[in-house]
Amino acid sequence: MTLQELRHLAVTLAHSFDYAQTQPTPAQHILSQYHAAYMDLQAAILGLSNDDAEKNSSGRRMAYTKSLCHILGADIGFTAVVRYALEGHRAGSWKPEQMSDKDETRLVGISEEEYKTLTRSPLKDMLAYHRKFHPEIISDFSGITDSELNLPATFWEETRFPIQHRLHRYEAHFCATYHPNRQGPGCDRAGSQ
In a domain, 193, yes or no: yes
Separation CA 52–CA 56 (nearest Å):
8
In a domain, 23, yes or no: no
Q: What is the pLDDT of residue 69?
A: 87
Separation CA 113–CA 1 (nearest Å):
39
The pLDDT tens digits for 156-182 are 888 899 999 999 999 988 788 765 444
Q: What is the pLDDT of residue 175?
A: 80
Specify the length of the chain in residues. Answer: 193
In a domain, 30, yes or no: no
In a domain, 104, yes or no: yes
* Residue numbers of the domain that contains 81: 65-193
Residue (of 18, 14, 69, 37) closest to 192 by Cα position: 37
The structural domain count of the chain equals: 1
In a domain, 21, yes or no: no
**What one-letter code names the amino acid at 30?**
I
| Burial environment of residue 184 by CB neighbours within 10 A (0 to 12, 13 to 18, 19 or more) | buried
pLDDT along the chain (193 residues), means of 10: 78 68 85 92 81 65 76 93 97 94 95 92 91 96 97 90 94 75 40 33
Q: What is the pLDDT of residue 187?
A: 40
Q: What is the pLDDT of residue 157?
A: 83
Separation CA 50–CA 28 (nearest Å):
33
Q: Model's pTM, two decimal places? A: 0.80
In a domain, 144, yes or no: yes
Count CB atoms within 10 A of the CB of residue 134. Answer: 19
